Amino acid sequence: MVPGRQTLAIIKPDAVSHPILLKHIGEAIIAKGFLVKRACRVRLTLAEAKELYSVHLGKFFYERLVRHMASGPVLAMQLESTTTSDAIAAWRALLGPSKLYANLIAHSTIPIDQRPLRQQFALSDTRNMAHGSDSPDEVTREMAVFEPYLQPVTDQSQLFRLPPSILSTDTD
């Protein structure tokens, strides 16, 4: 990893399960100047989700969060910024605050299509569509959870393409 220019992005099960939302997130990632260097789509075990969020052990939301992260596939990506030397801050700015209501208040006067992704698409504080590591040490620790699964990405548009069934014009 390139220190400062790379970060870990995780799209949570609530967003991965919606292909049109996933495509929108991918377009936002690319538009903000990120390259997806490595990625994997994987369903975390409960043990892996607990390891990923071990810094929150003992907090009131911990069990709910780890259950959610193990409830379906996630898309983990090693992102590299082409526009800034602080990829962590850039990814977290694109996401917006993790708390849904804080997000709504903080960005209520901004047109919806210019708001952070979480304000546009979060369902709750737990189902807030994505995760962003908050420090270089956390990027390293969290990336280790996905290391066995991450694969090089040669065509990042393939990560976010819509499945043919969604593109179909059949009405039956």
Residues marked active site are found at 131
Q: Residue holding tokens 């043919």? A: 164
Closest to 75 (Cα-Cα) out of 155, 149, 5? 149
Closest to 67 (Cα-Cα) out of 9, 14, 103? 14
Instruction: At 47, list the tokens.
Output: 């043990």
Helix (H, G, I), strand (E, B) or coil at 38: strand
| 78 residue type, one letter | Q
Our measurement of the distance from residue 102's CA atom to the centroid of its chain's CA atoms, rounded to an integer in Å, reads 19
Instruction: At 157, list the tokens.
Output: 């548009």
Number of H helices, E strands in the chain: 9, 5
